[in-house]
Amino acid sequence: MKVPVPDEILPADRLGRVHFVGIGGAGLSGIARIMLARGITVSGSDGVDSPTLDALRALGATVHLGHAAAQVGDADTLVVSTAVREDNPEYLEAVRRGLRVLPRSAALAAVMADRRVVAVAGTHGKTTTTSLLTTALQVAGADPSYAIGGDLTATGLNAADGAGDLFVAEADESDGAFLHYAPYAAIVTNVEADHLDNWGTEEAYRAAFDEFADTLHPDGFLVCCVDDPGAAALAARQRAAGRRVVEVSAGAPGALAGVTLWSPGEHYLADALAALAAGVELGYDTDALVRGIASYTGTKRRMERKGEAGGVRVYDSYAHHPTEIAGDLQAARAIAGTGRVVVAFQPHLVSRTRIFGAQMGEALGAADEVVVLDVYLAREEADPEVTGAFVAAAVPLPAERVAYVASFDDVAGELAARARPGDLVLTLGAGTVTEIGPRVLELLG
């Protein structure tokens, strides 16, 4: 459900009691955590229990499982995620009572009010780059507030309310949220067509990034990773318009030359360079920022090592776009060394699979063995003509090295049967495929 952003977004301390529908999600849980740290009364609901909900309860939130109108309680403001349906009883109760109803983007803008915001946008790499910049600034002494679309491996947190004046935020373009933040500065990692279910055309998607850049403070700056043609073109247009633009390229590592990063892969190097450039432009010491980047241990679900059993290493990553698949397979190949790469991929969204399914399959051809799951539906209805079989058919490998496994419960066994000592198993996708890795380790053990 897409809730309109109000014309005036109040600071968080003026929202009263806040109730989150879908409080366990990556976006809303971080905002709730920051509000709790500021003494705001927070409640919420979600469909299933999780460690995230336990953490929010420990911080003082009242959290319900399931959805019911009575759970809105005495809230003054309701915050909803895009996954919430229009018939949700808590949303309907808030409308009936005339409560303030905010989408995720407006709630994030509310907690960012009065802070100097650095927004990290791009088709790929937002979470990693936001995490890198946050870690680098912390080591450099900035103590920023931050909101990330994933949990930092080092702390297990996806958000915190820092004492400094900076707020580092992952800026999501999927539903246009990033157009409402008016940041001081921004990073754009890349601009490549995605989320066309919302934007309609590639041209409209790319134009949104110009609109986003136009919202930056006049005294601020824009960092672009110019290895990507879309980001390079954006940089050129913004510089021509008078914007202060900093360009970075993995081909010119600069101060990071010789630094060992948490993961191989040129795309991860580009993310680190963008974070370093932003920190320097903000006025922080280069050596301290480099130390912070070198100390970064990753973000959950971004080339995250899950363990090893039977001589097989298992990793998990969020990649769900052809470019992301290619990048993470490049990293996996470097980590695997002389071992093979065995990948399980879960396509995410029917609309994305319909548009990019053939390219997904082509990118998966960089692995040695490929298992494709069925499409993770998320907010869409199933389409019998758009399944994981469509992706599997496009993988350019011999038929015996590719399998379409429609039953989720059979995937771990298929991977364990294909893997042998020395191999690296990589689970890819933005859905429930992340649950497969531990099952593979159990079977191999």
Q: What is the pLDDT confidence band of residue 264, given thresholds at 50, 70 and 90?
A: confident
Q: Which CATH number fits domain 304-444: 3.90.190.20, 3.40.640.10, 1.20.58.100, 1.10.20.10?
A: 3.90.190.20
Top-confidence residue, 197 or 444: 444
Give the mean model confidence (pLDDT) for residues 335-360: 94
Token reading at 103: 């989408």
Name the strand (E) or helix (H) holding 72. Answer: none
Token reading at 417: 């049967």
What is the SS3 assignment for 63?
strand
Buried b (16+ CB within 10 A) or exposed e, 116-137: bbbbbbbbbbbbbbbbbbbbbb
Neighbours of 264 (CB within 10 A): 15
Nearest of 189, 274, 169 to residue 230 by alpha carbon? 189
Instruction: Judge contact between 293 and 275, C-beta under 8 A.
Output: yes
Check residue 299 and report its DSSP letter: B
314 beta partners: 307, 425
Q: Is 129 annotated as a binding residue?
A: no
Check residue 278 and report its DSSP letter: H
Token reading at 260: 């060992």
Percent of the chain, pLDDT > 70? 99
Mean pLDDT of the chain: 94
Q: Give the CA dihedral 325, 328, 329, 332, nearest 10 degrees.
A: -160
Q: Which of 93, 126, 304, 387 is catalytic?
A: 126
* Measured CA angle at 341 (ends 336, 345), to 5 deg: 130
Q: How far, in Å, CA of 22 to CA of 269, rounded?
A: 34
Q: What is the pLDDT confidence band of residue 195, given thresholds at 50, 70 and 90?
A: low
Does pLDDT of 184 surpass 80?
yes
Q: What is the pLDDT confidence band of residue 300, given thresholds at 50, 70 and 90?
A: confident
Q: Tell me: the pLDDT tens digits for 77-87?
A: 999 988 888 99
Q: What is the pLDDT confidence band of residue 218, given thresholds at 50, 70 and 90?
A: very high
The pLDDT score that the predictor gives to residue 87 is 94
The pLDDT score that the predictor gives to residue 260 is 92
Task: Return the residue matching tokens 């990071």.
Answer: 256
For every residue of 382-404, which 3-state class applies, written as one string? Answer: CCCCCCHHHHHCCCCCCHHHEEE
The pLDDT score that the predictor gives to residue 7 is 87
Does pLDDT of 434 surpass 80?
yes
Q: Tell me: the pLDDT tens digits for 118-157?
A: 999 998 889 999 999 999 999 999 999 999 988 898 888 9
Q: How far, in Å, CA of 395 to CA of 198, rounded?
A: 27
Q: Which of 41, 52, 82, 127 is catalytic?
A: 127
Percent of the chain, pLDDT > 90? 80
The pLDDT score that the predictor gives to residue 196 is 66
Nearest of 343, 346, 347 to residue 315 by alpha carbon? 343
**Number of continuous H segments (helices) and E segments (strands) in the chain:** 15, 18
> Distance between alpha carbon 400 and the CA centroid of its chain, in Å?
33
Q: Number of C-alpha atoms within 13 angstroms, CB side, residue 287?
A: 0
Does pLDDT of 194 surpass 80?
no
What are the φ/ψ torsions at residue 62 (nearest 5 degrees)? -95, 115
Top-confidence residue, 321 or 283: 283
Q: Which residues in 161-272 belong to E strands, given as ranges?
A: 166-170, 185-188, 222-225, 245-248
Q: Is 122 annotated as a binding residue?
A: yes
Name the strand (E) or helix (H) holding 58. Answer: helix 51-58
Q: How far, in Å, CA of 337 to CA of 250, rounded?
A: 22
Q: Is 265 annotated as a binding residue?
A: no
Q: How far, in Å, CA of 104 to CA of 408, rounded?
A: 31
Token reading at 61: 């939130």
Active site includes 170? yes
Instruction: Judge contact between 154 and 131, C-beta under 8 A.
Output: no
Which residues make up the CATH 3.90.190.20 domain(s) of the chain?
304-444
Instruction: Judge contact between 231 and 189, C-beta under 8 A.
Output: yes
Q: Which CATH number fits domain 115-295: 3.30.160.20, 2.30.42.10, 3.30.450.80, 3.40.1190.10?
A: 3.40.1190.10
Q: Is 126 annotated as a binding residue?
A: yes
Q: How far, in Å, CA of 382 to CA of 379, rounded?
A: 10
Nearest of 183, 170, 179, 173 to residue 113 by alpha carbon? 183
Which residues make up the CATH 3.40.1190.10 domain(s) of the chain?
115-295
pTM of the predicted model, to two decimals? 0.84
Amino acid in position 52: T
Q: Which of 170, 192, 369, 414 is catalytic?
A: 170
Q: Is 130 annotated as a binding residue?
A: no
Q: Tell me: the pLDDT tens digits for 378-397?
A: 777 888 889 999 999 999 99
Task: Return the residue matching tokens 């977004």.
Answer: 9
Q: Is 123 annotated as a binding residue?
A: yes
Does pLDDT of 298 surpass 80?
yes
The dihedral built from the CA positions of residue 36, 38, 42 and 45, taken in this order, carries a sign that is negative
Q: Tell me: the pLDDT tens digits for 304-347?
A: 999 999 999 999 998 888 988 998 999 999 999 999 999 999 99
The pLDDT score that the predictor gives to residue 166 is 98
Range with the poorest average pLDDT among 91-95, 242-246, 323-327: 323-327
Does pLDDT of 172 surpass 90?
no
Range with the poorest average pLDDT among 36-45, 148-157, 177-186: 148-157
Token reading at 357: 């399914």
Q: What is the pLDDT confidence band of residue 4, given thresholds at 50, 70 and 90?
A: confident
Neighbours of 287 (CB within 10 A): 11
Buried b (16+ CB within 10 A) or exposed e, 222-251: bbbbbbbebbbbbbeebeeeebebbbbbbe
Q: What is the pLDDT confidence band of residue 117, given thresholds at 50, 70 and 90?
A: very high
Which residues make up the CATH 3.40.50.720 domain(s) of the chain?
12-102
Yes or no: domain 12-102 corresponds to CATH 3.40.50.720 = yes
Active site includes 126? yes
